[in-house]
Every structure is written in C-alpha cells, then in structure tokens.
Amino acid sequence: MTNPNSNSSFFENPGYSAVLRRYSDFLWLYEQFHREKAGAIVPPLPEKQPVGRFSAAFIEDRRTNLERFLRRVAVHPELMDAQCLNTFLRADDATFHATKHSNWDPSNPPMPPTAGGYPPSMTHGGHPAGMMPPPPPKQGLTSWLSSASSNIASKVAIHAPHLIHSPDDDLFLEIEEYIAGLEHQMKTVSQQATTLVRKGKEMANGLFEYGLAFSLLGQSEEGMLGVSLQTMGEVADQLSVMTADHSEKEGIRFEDPLTDYIKMIQEVKIALQKRQEKKRIYSSALMEVKHKETQSMKWKGIMGKEEKSYQADMALQTAKEFSEVASEEFATVSQRVLREVDRFKREKADDMRRTVMDYIDLQIDYNRRMEEVWAGLVPQLESVSLDASDTPVPSPHPSTEPSPVVSQVPAGAAVNAPYM
C-alpha cells in the first residue's frame, strides 16, 4: 500500500517508498491500538465481506476505506504517536511480520522476564509458583500489565469483586446514557436515509418504465402528436438517468456518512468498555493485595515457616506493585476517554452540520435540474393542437397586432357607403 500522505512525518520512510499490507495487517493494527492506547476512539475498519472479495469494484472500495482509516489515525491526537502505527508504516515486510507474529498476540500475551530476588529453589517456570512476576523497572510495563491482567481476569470472574468507586463515575454514567440515546436516534435517522435512497432508485426505475411506455405510445401515433409523445418518453428516460445518479450521490454523501457515524458510536462504547475493564482489574488488584496481606500475616513469627513467610511477603510486594500499575492505567485510560468523548462531541457537531448542508445542496441542485428538464418539454407540447378532424397540426402563433382586412373590388366599381 502506497503512502497516503507524503507530507506527513508518519509516512516518511527513507528506506522504503511503499509497504505491502493486507487486510489482516490492518486488523492487527486496529487491535493493537486498543491495547496500546486503551480508551481511545479508534476509527472503524471496513467490514469483512465473505463473497465478492475479488471483484474490481470491491477491491477499489476496500482500498479507499483502508486509506481513509490510515488518514484518520495519522491525525488522531491519541493514536498518532502509537508504536504499533510506527511499526505498521515504517517497518519493512520481514520486520513487520516478525513483530506481528512474535509478541503481539492479544490471546497469548508474552511473559516478561522475572526480576531478580527469588532463590532458584523457590521458582517455578521463571517466577514463584502461583504468583505473578514483578514488572521490569521502567520498560515493558504495558506488556507486563497485559500479561498480569490475564491472570487477574480469571479471579475477577470467580470472586466478582466489588468495583471501587471513582469520583468521576457519575460523569461516565451520564456519558454512557448520552451515547445510548445518540445511538438510538442515529440508527433511526440512518434507517430513514436508507429508505430515501431506496425510494430514489425505485423512482429512477419508474421513470425509465414511464418513458418506455410513452415512447411506444408515440410510435403508434402519426404527425406531431406522435413526435411529442416520443419526446416525452425521451425526457422521462433522461430524468431516469438523472434520478439514478442523484440516488447514488445520496448514498455516498448522506447514507454512508450516517452509517459511518454509527460505527464511530460503537467505537465510543468500546472505549468506555476499556475503562470498565481497567476498573475491574484495579478492583481485583486491591482485593489481591488484601488477600496477600492476610497470607503474609498468617505466617509471621511462626517457627519453621520462614520460607512460607518469605514467599508470602514477596507475593504481597508483587501484588502491591501490580496494584500501583493498575491504578495508573485506570487513571490514564479514564482521562483518555474523557478527552476522546469531548473531541467526539465537537467533531460530531461539525460533521453533522456538514452532512446535512451537503444533503440540502444536493437536493437543491437535483430539483433545479429536474425543473429545467420538465420546463423544456412544455413548449414542445404547447406547439401541438388538433384541427376539426382531430389531425395534429402546429399551433398558430398569434401576433400582437390584428391583421388588416383588405377588400378587393373591380376597378371603377361604385362603392355604396352610408352617409355619415
């Protein structure tokens, strides 16, 4: 896929002028955005299509939509600096595929190396049995958190911890209610737009059949009437083409933007879900800390249980470290979601205004052209009239001055006129 914007630093690659990326690679990038930048509103990808995937029209449509996806993420304030985007755009094919299939699998997160401090006799598989490894000092926190989160997730399902209360929970509840209402209303508008486009296509077909009927009727008539009827058929056929083109534009400039907007609303819901996931992980981490504190106190001061006490202390330290990271992640994602929702609302207002104005301009232009075509037919029909025998003849064009009456009489003949 060629670089869609050579002026942007995101598409500058001194060693490569183009990179080859498949749809599955775009899907990988989409999923990585949700992992690396949880809480961001990621632009939607075009949906998969099980049939017709090799038609020229489908391939061009898919290419256009994927390019639009890249343009969106390249200017996205939360995604533009993502490491996965840099890898996607700048890595050569071999490096990219090695990265993609190494440690980026969401279903199998990598296990970071264990930090030192555990005697070999106390470890199992590189870390204390039954405990999560502590995070690396500075790098790899996100990867470690993802790995540990998978461990915590099972405990969330089993213990169903009571979620912590955040000061901004009420605000997020309002956001969720707003998004739910917006989704319902947008789906209603989108359905009506789809109905309008469908009716426009039906109108185009109807005008075609209408024109064909008049053309056949005109062929059965003679003289000016037959010509005029056939002209009527030609005009209807012209209007059919015009209406079909108008319906196509309605689909592209009105129906498609509304459909895309509903997809964006779904992405907002995903962002909110990511925050809720981080909240559950943090709640579970706090519960784990309490559990490890109980275990640590259990073995304190018991003769012969020094090894168990040491293991319990180390497990408690690991749980606290994880809790701190989980707290930071929860706060980071919460703030990101708030920024994203605010940006979404601002852009929604501008996008909706532009979409509606574009639709109005489209209707004005279409109706103006329709009126011109119909008005051009009127003089042709008015030029046809019937004489006493119902024979079509051109209509006379009366002049504004009455024609003078001239009487012809033989030369020298007397003309009797009444005396005045």
How far is 273 from 39, CA to CA, in rounded Å? 8
List phi, psi (to 5°) of 127. -150, 160
pLDDT at position 102, please? 77
Task: Give yes or no for a contact between 21 and 63, defined as CB atoms under 8 angstroms apart.
Answer: no
How far is 148 from 64, CA to CA, in rounded Å? 39
- Per the DSSP assignment, residues forming a β-bridge with 255 are none
How far is 162 from 78, CA to CA, in rounded Å? 31
Closest-CA residue to 322 (of 114, 164, 141, 129): 141
pLDDT at position 415, please? 40
How far is 172 from 175, CA to CA, in rounded Å? 5
DSSP element (H, E) containing 388: none
Task: Give yes or no for a contact between 115 and 136, defined as CB atoms under 8 angstroms apart.
Answer: yes
C-beta pairs of 24-30 under 8 Å, 24+ apart in sequence: 25/88, 25/96, 25/100, 26/66, 26/69, 28/88, 28/100, 28/104, 29/73, 29/84, 29/85, 29/88
Closest-CA residue to 26 (of 58, 80, 60, 70): 70
Give the chain's domains with CATH numbers: 1-108 (3.30.1520.10), 134-167+178-387 (1.20.1270.60)
pLDDT at position 358, please? 95
pTM value surpassing 0.75: no
How far is 89 from 245, CA to CA, in rounded Å? 37
Output b/e per residue, 30-63; b: 16+ Cβ within 10 A.
Answer: bbbbbbbbbbbbbbbbbeeeeeeeeeeeeeeebe
Strands (E), 150-266: none
Taking the alpha carbons of 319, 132, 278, 71 in that order, is the dihedral positive or negative? Answer: positive
Closest-CA residue to 97 (of 1, 7, 19, 45): 19
Residue 165 Ramachandran class (φ > 0 left, ψ -120 to 50 alpha, else beta):
beta
Residues in the chain: 420
Closest-CA residue to 179 (of 257, 256, 266): 266
Q: 235 is written with which tokens?
A: 């005009």
pLDDT at position 326, please? 94
Name every residue whose Cβ is closer than 8 Å to that of residue 128 and which is 6 or more positions away in sequence: 118, 122, 311, 314, 315
What residue type is 335 in one-letter code? Q
- Low-confidence spans in the chain with pLDDT less than 50: 1-8, 16, 105-146, 149-150, 152-160, 387-390, 395, 397-420
Task: Give yes or no for a contact between 351 and 257, defined as CB atoms under 8 angstroms apart.
Answer: yes
pLDDT at position 110, please? 34
Output b/e per residue, 333-358; b: 16+ Cβ within 10 A.
Answer: bbebbbebbeebeeebeeeeeebeee
- Per the DSSP assignment, residues forming a β-bridge with 394 are 384
Task: Give yes or no for a contact between 111 and 373, defined as CB atoms under 8 angstroms apart.
Answer: no
Name every residue whose Cβ is closer than 8 Å to that of residue 202 and which is 6 or more positions away in sequence: none
pLDDT at position 12, please? 52
pLDDT at position 51, please? 63
Name every residue whose Cβ is closer than 8 Å to that of residue 343 and which is 6 or more positions away in sequence: 41, 77
pLDDT at position 220, please? 87
Closest-CA residue to 5 (of 83, 74, 80): 74
Closest-CA residue to 129 (of 302, 369, 308, 331): 308
Q: What is the DSSP string of 131-159?
A: SPPPPPSSTTHHHHHHHHHHHHHHHHHHH
